[in-house]
Amino acid sequence: MSEYLVNIEHERLSFFTPAGEVKALNDVSIRIREGEVLGIVGESGSGKSVTAYSLMGLTAYPGKLLGGTLDFNGHRINDMTEKQMQKIRGNEVSIIFQDPMTSLNPVFTIGNQIREVLKLHTDKSKSEIQDRARELLQLVGINEPDRRLKQYPHELSGGMRQRVMIAIALACEPKLLIADEPTTALDVTIQAQILELMMELKDKLGMAIMMITHDLGVVASMCDHIAVMYAGNIVEYGETDDIFYNPKHEYTKGLLRSIPRMDSKEHERLVPIEGTPVDLLNPPKGCPFASRCDQCMRICLREKAPVTHFGETHYSTCWMNQKAELEGGKRQ
């Protein structure tokens, strides 16, 4: 077994739509150690969710893995059959989706939906399963578990439903929990509660978390490492502090400028990132962020930037790094 729980290397994935090939992932590499929290940040369509789903073998219909290797917990996901994947899903790796309103089946009780996953992956007896379901609801902070188990999803609030989703995800004590924008559809106060709950459970159960979000605020407090994605590429990767205090890609810098900071001075304005995301049907041949970048140089339009490492884990793909090195080299 390798030292990493998750090791995705050079993954390329496209959706073959009637309009043409949509290159959703271009050379994505991600590593997560056991018990570690990785945040994947990026705007809509940058490939965050696609990466996570492909790790679970849940790539939606016209999508196709074109290259790279995906390893998880000693399994080579690329080579696994659907049947083998079914044994892992919900058991070794679980996922929480963005919208708790639609992610639970409206026609079954909460209890039914929690018990289902236990029945599938454990050989506990009926009463043990019922006890475990009750225990899970208590674990995620739901009172009166016996009454809740008999209720239907529509009788619960959004925050409550997301807690149920977490309970389902944690039922078999997975090694990895994928959280796909778990708080986006919730009220701000509930968001904080859910995140706190997730961190608490992580410490209790020792699982790794892949936290997908477009909210830098969320990742700052929770994550050990952060991957910044743009247009199907990882443009910067590093420890949380590296990303926040020493960003090396213009997109990361832009993201940081666009959120309010506790230490910002009065009247300091937030700077939005202008422009629109690239069209993945015809991705540009240079840097995907070039058209929106303030520092855009001629080379950026022509060629993709090479990876520059700044330490053990921190790396980024931006021509500005090359420029800095070039200038540094001259000075030497």
Partner 1 sequence: MKDNPNPLSFQSRLNPDDFFPASSEEKESLVIMRESVGFWRDGMRRFRKNKIAMVSLVIVILIMIFSFIVPIFYPYTYEQQVKGSNNLAPMTYSEEEQARIDAGESVFPHILGTDKLGRDYAIRVMMGSRISLIVGLVAAFIILVIGSVFGSVAAFFGGWVDLIMMRLVDIIYTVPDVLLIVLLSFALKAPLETLSMQPGFGWIRTLGPNLISIFIVFALLYWVGMARMVRGQILALKESEYVTAARALGASSARIIRKHLLTNCIGTLIVMTTLQIPSSIFTESFLSFLGLGVAVPMPSLGSLASEALNGINTYPYLLFIPAGLISLIILSFNLLGDGLRDAFDPKMKN
Partner 2 sequence: MAKYIVKRIGLAIVTIWVVATLTFFLMNFVPGGPFLSEKAVSPKAMAALEEKYGLDKPLWEQYVTYMTDALHGDFGASLKQRGRTVMSIITSKFPVSARVGGLAVLAAFCIGVPLGCFSAMNRGKALDSFIIVVATFGIAVPSFVVGTVLMYVFSVRLGWVSSLGLKNWTNYILPVTALAFYPTAYITRLMRSSMLDVLGQDYMRTARAKGLNQIISLFKHALRNAILPVVTYMGPLLAYTVTGSFIVEKIFTIPGLGGEFIGSISNRDYTVIMGTTIFLASLIVLMNVVVDIAYKLIDPRIKLK
- Is residue 44 involved in binding partner 1 (CB under 8 A)? no
Binders in 33-52 for partner 2, by CB under 8 A: none
Q: Report what 246 binds from partner 2, partner 1, none; CB cut-off 5-8 Å by kind.
A: none
Strand order through the sheet with 93-96: 93-96, 176-180, 208-213, 37-41, 225-230, 233-239, 315-316, 308-309
| Between 58 and 85, CB nearer to partner 1 | 58
Q: Which residues contact 38 (CB under 8 A, 6 or more apart)?
A: 6, 30, 32, 208, 209, 210, 211, 223, 224, 225, 226, 227
Kindly state the tokens that stand for 282.
Answer: 């015809």
DSSP string, 229-262: EETTEEEEEEEHHHHHHS--SHHHHHHHHTS--T
In this chain, which of 106, 260, 272, 328 binds partner 1, going by CB under 8 A? Answer: 328
**Phi and psi for 283 in degrees, rounded to 5?**
-70, 145
Q: Report what 157 binds from partner 1, partner 2, none; CB cut-off 5-8 Å by kind.
A: none
CB 34 within 8 A of CB 175: yes
Cβ 306 to partner 1, closest distance in Å? 5
- Is residue 233 involved in binding partner 1 (CB under 8 A)? no
For residues 320 and 328, what is the distance between their CA atoms, to the nearest angstrom?
12
CB 80 within 8 A of CB 92: no
- Is residue 199 involved in binding partner 2 (CB under 8 A)? no
Point out which span in 6-14, 117-125, 212-220, 310-318 binds partner 2 (CB under 8 A).
117-125
For residues 229 and 58, what is the distance between their CA atoms, to the nearest angstrom?
20
Distances (CA, A) of 172 to 90, 99, 120, 169: 7, 22, 10, 7
| Between 114 and 318, CB nearer to partner 2 | 114
Strand order through the sheet with 63-72: 20-32, 6-17, 63-72, 75-76
- Is residue 319 involved in binding partner 1 (CB under 8 A)? yes
Point out which span in 34-42, 92-100, 230-238, 292-300 binds partner 1 (CB under 8 A).
292-300
Spell 209-223 as b/e; 16+ CB within 10 A means b. Answer: bbbbbbbbebbbebb
Cβ 67 to partner 1, closest distance in Å? 23
- Is residue 86 involved in binding partner 2 (CB under 8 A)? yes
Mark out the alpha helices in 109-187 (DSSP H runs): 110-121, 126-139, 145-149, 158-170
Q: How many residues bind partner 1 (CB under 8 A)?
A: 30
Q: Report what 301 binds from partner 1, partner 2, none; CB cut-off 5-8 Å by kind.
A: partner 1
For residue 179, list its beta bridge partners: 96, 211
- Is residue 230 involved in binding partner 1 (CB under 8 A)? no
Point out which span in 90-98, 110-118, 119-127, 293-301 binds partner 1 (CB under 8 A).
293-301
- Is residue 58 involved in binding partner 2 (CB under 8 A)? yes
In this chain, which of 55, 209, 273, 290 binds partner 1, going by CB under 8 A? Answer: 290
In this chain, which of 298, 304, 311, 312 binds partner 1, going by CB under 8 A? Answer: 298
- Is residue 308 involved in binding partner 1 (CB under 8 A)? yes
SS3 192: helix
- Is residue 94 involved in binding partner 2 (CB under 8 A)? yes
Site for partner 2, rule CB under 8 A: 56, 58, 82-83, 85-91, 94-95, 97, 99, 102-108, 116-117, 120-121, 152, 154, 165, 168
Question: Which residues lie near partner 1 (CB under 8 A)?
Answer: 18, 275, 279, 281-282, 284, 286, 290-291, 295-302, 306-309, 319, 321-323, 325-326, 328-329, 332
